[in-house]
Amino acid sequence: MNDSVRVRFAPSPTGHLHIGGARTALFNWLFARHHGGTFILRIEDTDTSRSTDEYIQAIIEGMKWLGLDLDEGPFRQTARFDIYRSYVDRLLAQGKAYRCYCTPEELEQRREQALAEGKNPKYDGRCRNLPRNLTAQSSEKPFAVRFMMPQDGTTVLDDMIKGRIEFDNSLLDDMIILRSDGSPTYNFVVVVDDIDMKITHVIRGDDHVNNTPKQLHIYLAFGWEPPKFGHLPMILGADKSRLSKRHGATSVMAYKDMGYLPEALVNYLVRLGWSHGDQEIFTIEELVKYFSFDNVGSSAAVFNPEKLIWLNSQYMINTSAEKLAELVLPFLEKSGLIADGTVPDMHWLAKAVYTLRERAHTLVELAHSMTYYLADKVEIDPKAKEKFMKPEGLKLLADLRNALAELSDFSAQEIEKTFGAIVGKAGTKLGSLAQPARVAITGGTASPGIFEVFEIVGKDKVLRRLDKAIGGG
RNA sequence: GGUCCCAUCGUCUAGAGGCCUAGGACAUAGCCCUCUCAAGGCUAAGACACGGGUUCGACUCCCGUUGGGACUACCA
C-alpha cells in the first residue's frame, strides 16, 4: 500500500449513528490512519424523503464522540445533483442508458406478479429498445433513466475480505439511475462520487456485496478504474438476526448516555471481526499500528453486551481518578446527586471515584454508587439492618462513635487504628464492627474499604449517621 | 423463489495440512485473597454443523447437505 489511501464512510442520514455503521466507520478510519491516508465522510442523502439534517448532525456527533476524526467532508450528495445529471446525460448520449416510461405503479404490479408466479422480479426491459425518435418525442412524459446492463458474461469482484466472487450478468437488472423527479439513485451516485473523490478502497458492510457488480459496470461504462473493495461481515443480535432495536440500544450515543467510555466501545467494536492474536485490549495507537484486512474475519458476529460491559469496566479501572471524576460529573447532575451548575471539590470527588472505579461497570453505575458519599442522609436497607444492627453491634458502634469523636485527624489511617482498638478491646473480629459500621454509613452491606469510606464521607456526616443508627434510626 | 455470503466452546475469536490432547477472552461454577462488595489469582465445565472426497496425515483444501445471513425498490 502507499500513502495515498483514500477511504470514505458513507452513511445515509435516515437515523442515528448505529453500532454497525460505527464499526464500518471505525474500520475505514483505522485503515486510513494505518496507511497515513485520508478519511472522508460523505452523506448519502439522495433519498430526500427520508434524510434529515438532524440525523446528519447526530452521525457527526457520534463519530466525534468515538474519536473518528475527519480529513475531508462531510460532503452531501444533495449538493451535487448537477454533477450526477451531467454524468447521466453522458451515458444517455452514448446509448449506455435509456429512458424508461414505465410508472412506479406498473412496475410494482409486474413485480408482484412475477413474484407470485415464482419468477424473478427483474425489469423486463420493455423500454430498452424504444426507437430513439419516440423517446425524444415523448420527452414531455415523465420518465426515469435506466442503466443498460450487459445481458451475458460474468463479473468478478476481487474482495479484500471475501476473496474472489463471481456474478452472472444475466441476473443483473437494468437499474434506475435517475428517478422521474430528476434525483439520482444510490448505485449510480456512489460510483460517481467514489471516482470524483478519488476513493482508493471502498470499505462497507457486506449487505452491499450484491450491489457491487452493478456498480462495477458503471465504472466500466465510463472507462474508470474501480477502487478495491472490502466487504465487512454484519453485526447480528443475540438471535442471529440483523441487529436492531429489538436487541437493545443500537445508537452509539445511547451508549454514551448509558455511561460507556468511547474507547471501550471502539475496542469492543474492533474485536467484532478483527483480531490480533490473543490480545483483547488495545490502545488506539496499537489499533492503528496493527490494523489490517488480513486479520478481518468473514463471518458475521453477534453483538454481546456483556463483553462490552467488561471492557468498559477495564477501561474505567485504567482511567485516572481525576479524569473519571470529570466524566462522572454530568451523570451526577443527571441523577440529582449534585445540583446543576454546582462545582464540587474535584480533589475530593477524585478520591471518592478512586474507591469506586473498580466496582462500577459504567459511569451511570459509578454515579449511582456515590449516593452515600454525596447525599445528606442515607436510607438503611431493612434487610441489612435486621442482619447487622443487633445489640452487640450497636454497642460496638457506640464505642466507635465516641472514639471517633475524639479524632482530630479523620484519615483512613487513624480511623483504621480506632477500629482496631475497639475490636481488640472487645476481643472480637473486625467484621463484627465493620459490617454494622458499613450499614450505618452507606445504608447497605457492600462498599469500598470502610476506613476510606469514613474518611471520604467526613467526620460530621459519619458521626451523625452513627448517632442515628445507634438511636435505632 | 433466485443470486451471493457465512459456518471452531452459549458469545467474540486464535488456528495459513502434521505444532491441536484445538489456545485466549466474556459469561457460568468452585477455590484463594478479604471488614463487605468488587478487582485480582488459580481451577473446572464448554466447540471444529453433518456427509463424502484429496492426502501418509485434515479444524485447515475440494464437493455436497443442513443451518444462518444479505440482496432481490423510481431505499441506501
Query: What is the per-residue burial (b if ≥16 Cβ within 10 Å, else e) of A220-252?
Result: ebeeeebbebbbbbbbbbeeeeebeeebeebbb
> What predicted TM-score, i.e. pTM, was given to this entire model?
0.94
Collapsing DSSP to helix, strand or coil, A72 comes out as strand
As a rounded value in angstroms, the CA-to-C1' distance for A392 and B35 is 16
pLDDT of residue A133 exceeding 60 = no
Helix residue ranges, H only, A358-458? 363-369, 371-374, 382-388, 391-405, 412-426, 431-442, 450-457
In the predicted structure, residue A386 carries a pLDDT above the cut 60: yes
Predicted pLDDT of residue A137: 53
Quickly give A274 CA vs B43 C1' distance in Å.
30
Nucleotides of B under 7 A from a protein CB: 1-8, 10-16, 23-27, 35-40, 68-76
Closest alpha carbon to C1' of B13, residue: A275
pLDDT at A180: 93
Residue nearest to nucleotide B23 (CA to C1'): A278
* Grid cell digits, residue A285: 495507537
Total Cβ atoms within 10 A of residue A336: 10
Average model confidence (pLDDT) across chain A = 93
Query: Which residue has its C-alpha nearest to nucleotide B14's C1'?
Result: A277
- Identify residue A409 by its one-letter amino acid code: D
Question: Residue range A292-305: average pLDDT?
Answer: 96
Q: How far is the CA of A205 from the C1' of B36 (A)?
A: 48
- Asked if residue A120 has pLDDT above 90, the reply is no
pLDDT of residue A413 exceeding 90: yes
Nucleotide nearest to A451 (CA to C1'): B35
- Measured CA A384 to C1' B50 distance, in angstroms: 55
Give the contacts of A153 (CB within 8 A, at least 6 positions apart): A169
Q: Is A274 helix (H, G, I), strand (E, B) or coil?
A: strand
The C-alpha atoms of residue A178 and residue A155 are separated, in whole angstroms, by 23
* Distance CA A165 to C1' B3 in A: 12
DSSP state string for A173-237 = ---EEE-TTS-B-HHHHHHHHHHHTT--EEEEEGGGGGGHHHHHHHHHHHTPPP-EEEEEPPEE-
Residue A354 burial (CB count, 10 A): 17
Residue nearest to nucleotide B24 (CA to C1'): A278
For residues A226 and A198, the answer to whether their CB atoms sit within 8 Å is no
Please give the average per-residue pLDDT across A204-232, as a whole number: 96
User: Which nucleotide minimizes the distance between its C1' and the CA of A244?
Assistant: B69
pLDDT band at residue A1 using 50, 70 and 90 as cut-offs: very low
Average pLDDT over residues A42-60: 94
Q: Residue range A27-44: average pLDDT?
A: 97
Nucleotide nearest to A43 (CA to C1'): B76
Q: Which nucleotide lies nearest residue A103, CA to C1'?
A: B74
With contact defined as beta carbons under 8 Å apart, do A231 and A206 qualify?
yes
Q: Which nucleotide is nearest to A309 (CA to C1')?
A: B26
Is the confidence at residue A135, as pLDDT, over 60?
Answer: no
Cα-based angle A190, A192, A197 (whole degrees, multiple of 5): 90
Cα(A425)–Cα(A103) distance, integer angstroms? 94
Measured CA A287 to C1' B62 distance, in angstroms: 36
A49 CA to B75 C1' in angstroms comes to 10
Residues of A catalogued as catalytic: 245
